[in-house]
């Protein structure tokens, strides 16, 4: 084995770069790759962290959490793995599910990065760095990284996009057509109005006309549906009440600040929409009830 001036990157990740005093090395690599400054908060436990020196597979990975609490899974792989595209999908999905705690709001999920350093030829492409944008696009040559013919045949795919998740967002509230002009519009009309017109011909609609009709449901299902509608109504009322309270609290705080700065009563009434009597009470140092606009 030839002498090396520096140790290999995979060994560095295993033994050297996990120490906090050496985070700046990994930060530099990630910053150059991603095009923005990356600052590592800490390292989290990942699959390969638990492997011994007698690894069965020539693989190493490290899971980075940045100061912005984003997750970056960096994996180095030497051995050829024909289903590696699939492994990437699994790894990032598992990562996201593991690091959102039970009961935590989905808004707490931060962006996750899958960074794969491969020493074998994956797919067909001419570039050396690819970024996923619906397809893997080469950063330098702008070509698309495609599966090999063997991968296409074995996994019944034509492109890498056939493996990776595909997201659809159906914004029902933005649908405006009262007279659907294409089959999918008929489904949008149903989603928005819970109504199926006799003229609808989209796939599945004929069956939906009988299966989704309230009158045809069993009595227990009817009662459950009524409870569902009532619960939704209550939920909407609770949300509306909370929003009203938040707006009223904001108005009161604006009024207090304006009065502290010497604003006139009439001016504060105009900018906040509070009643004159309420603003007077605030000017006298008294508190208002945020649950009602009445005095």
Residue 14 and residue 26: Cα distance in Å, rounded? 12
* 144 alpha-carbon distance from chain centroid: 25
Q: Which residues lie closer than 8 Å to 42 by C-beta, 6 or more apart? A: 20, 65
pLDDT at residue 165 greater than cutoff 50? yes
* 141 alpha-carbon distance from chain centroid: 30
For residue 238, the model assigns a pLDDT of 87
Tokens at 280, concatenated: 């007077």
DSSP per-residue codes, 166-228: ------GGG---SS--SHHHHHHHHHHHS---TT--STTHHHHHHHT-GGGS-HHHHHHHHHH
pLDDT at residue 105 greater than cutoff 90? no
pLDDT single digits (tens) 78-97: 778 888 889 888 888 888 77
For residue 224, the model assigns a pLDDT of 87
Q: Half-sphere exposure of residue 215, counting CA atoms within 13 Å on the CB side?
A: 2
Query: Which stretch of 17-26, 92-101, 178-187, 262-271 has the lowest confidence by average pLDDT?
Result: 92-101
Task: Provide the residue ranges of all domains of the chain, joining segments of one domain with +.
Answer: 9-122
Q: What is the mean pLDDT of the chain?
A: 83
CA distances for 286 relative to 7, 160, 183, 266, 281, angstroms: 70, 65, 60, 18, 5
Q: By percentage, how much of the chain surpasses pLDDT 90?
A: 20
For residue 48, the model assigns a pLDDT of 42
Indicate the pTM of the whole model.
0.63
For residue 120, the model assigns a pLDDT of 83
pLDDT at residue 275 greater than cutoff 70? yes
Strand ranges in the chain using DSSP code E only, listed in sequence order: 40-44, 59-66, 71-77, 112-118, 130-132, 136-138
Closest CA to 203 of 187, 191, 181: 187
pLDDT single digits (tens) 13-25: 887 888 888 888 8
Q: By percentage, how much of the chain surpasses pLDDT 70?
A: 87
Question: How does residue 295 score in pLDDT terms, banded at 50, 70 and 90?
Answer: very low
For residue 59, the model assigns a pLDDT of 67
Residue 206 and residue 210: Cα distance in Å, rounded? 7
pLDDT at residue 269 greater than cutoff 80? yes
């Amino acid at each position: 084995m030839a002498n090396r001036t520096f140790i290999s990157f995979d060994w560095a990740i295993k033994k050297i770069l996990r120490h906090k005093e050496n985070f700046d090395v990994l930060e530099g690599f990630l910053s150059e790759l991603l095009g923005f400054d990356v600052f590592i908060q800490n390292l989290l436990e990942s699959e390969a962290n638990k492997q011994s020196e007698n690894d069965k597979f020539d693989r190493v990975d490290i899971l980075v959490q940045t100061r912005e609490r984003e997750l970056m899974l960096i994996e180095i792989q030497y051995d050829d793995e024909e289903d590696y595209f699939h492994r990437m999908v699994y790894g990032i999905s598992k990562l996201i599910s593991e690091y959102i705690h039970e009961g935590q709001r989905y808004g707490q999920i931060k962006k996750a990065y899958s960074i794969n350093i491969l020493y074998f030829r994956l797919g067909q492409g001419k570039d050396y760095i690819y970024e996923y944008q619906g397809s893997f696009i080469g950063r330098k040559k702008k070509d698309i990284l495609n599966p090999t013919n063997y991968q296409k045949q074995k996994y019944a795919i034509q492109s890498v996009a056939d493996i990776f998740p595909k997201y659809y967002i159906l914004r029902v509230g933005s649908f405006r057509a009262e007279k659907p002009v294409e089959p999918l519009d008929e489904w949008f009309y149903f989603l928005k109005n819970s109504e199926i017109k006799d003229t609808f011909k989209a796939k599945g609609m004929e069956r939906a006309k009988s299966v989704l009709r309230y009158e045809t449901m069993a009595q227990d299902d009817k009662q459950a549906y009524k409870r569902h509608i009532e619960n939704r109504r209550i939920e909407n009322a609770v949300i509306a009440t909370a929003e009203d309270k938040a707006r009223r609290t904001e108005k009161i705080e604006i009024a207090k600040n304006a009065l502290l700065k010497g604003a006139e009563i009439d001016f504060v009434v105009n900018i906040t929409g509070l009643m004159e009597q309420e603003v007077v009470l605030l000017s006298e140092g008294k508190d208002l009830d945020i649950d009602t606009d009445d005095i």
